[in-house]
Chains A and B, each alone.
Chain A
Amino acid sequence: NAGVMQNPRHLVRRRGQEARLRCSPMKGHSHVYWYRQLPEEGLKFMVYLQKENIIDESGMPKERFSAEFPKEGPSILRIQQVVRGDSAAYFCASSPWTAPYEQYFGPGTRLTVT
C-alpha cells in the first residue's frame, strides 16, 4: 500500500514563474491537507480539500495561491508569480473519511525561488 506521494520532491523556480505541486493521497483516502513549513518553524495549515470540494482554505494567502483536488488525479497546489518568500517545504497529508483526523504525511516538496 503506497503512502502519500508528492512530486516533485525539489522544485526551483525563478521569481515570477509558476509552481505546481502535486499530491497523490493514499489509496482510499478522500481528504487532503496542504501545509507550508518555513525553516526552523512548525507546519502552517493552508487548505483542506475533499474530492472536488474545498472545505477550508482559510490558511491560504488570498492571492497567487490556489488548490484543487479533482475527481480523478492528484491534488494540486498552484503558486503563481512566485516570490522569494514562497521558498519553503510544502507537505500534503491525506486521511480516510472514516477518520479524517488520522493524517499521513507525504515526503514534501522543497520549493526554492531564486
Chain B
Amino acid sequence: ELKVEQNPLFLSMQEGKNYTIYCNYSTTSDRLYWYRQDPGKSLESLFVLLSNGAVKQEGRLMASLDTKARLSTLHITAAVHDLSATYFCAVDNGNQFYFGTGTSLTVIP
C-alpha cells in the first residue's frame, strides 16, 4: 500500500517566521496535492503539483515537488495567525488518493 508521511505532525511557530512542512511518499507518483483543513471543516485545495520540479506559490505558501526523491515541501513565509490549520498532502495512483496524517500548524503572536 502506498504510504504518505508528513513531518512534523505538530508545528507551533511565531508570527513572522518561516518554516517548511515535508511530505514523503513510498511509490512513484507524478501528482501531489496539498490541502488545508480548518477545525470541523472540509478540505480546501491549495496546490496541485503535476510534474517533477513543479513549484507553485500562493501568498505566503509555496509548494514544490521532487518526484525522484518522492518528496514535496510546503514552505511558509512570514507566518500569520490566519495560516493556523491542519495541512495535508496526498498522492494518487490513478484511482485512489492517499493522504498523509496531516501537520497541525499553530501560529502564535
Contacts and interface: CB of A to CB of B under 8 A. Distances in A.
Nearest to A41: B101
Given A42-B99, A45-B98, A104 B92 contact: no
Contacts of B43: 43, 91, 93, 105
A107 B42 CA distance: 5
Query: Chain A: interface secondary structure?
Result: strand
Contacts of A48: 95-96
Interface residues of B, number: 21
B100 A45 contact: no
B31 interface: yes
Contacts of A33: 97
B41 A43 contact: no
Given A101-B31, A101-B48, A101-B92, A44 B42 contact: no
A42 B100 contact: yes
A2 B96 CA distance: 25
A41 B4 CA distance: 13
A108 B42 contact: yes
Given A58-B96, A101-B33, A102-B48, 5 more contacts: A41-B102, A42-B101, A43-B43, A45-B99, A105-B42
Interface of A: 33, 35, 41-45, 48, 55-56, 58-59, 91, 93, 101-108
Interface of B: 4, 31, 33, 35, 41-45, 48, 88, 90, 92, 95-102
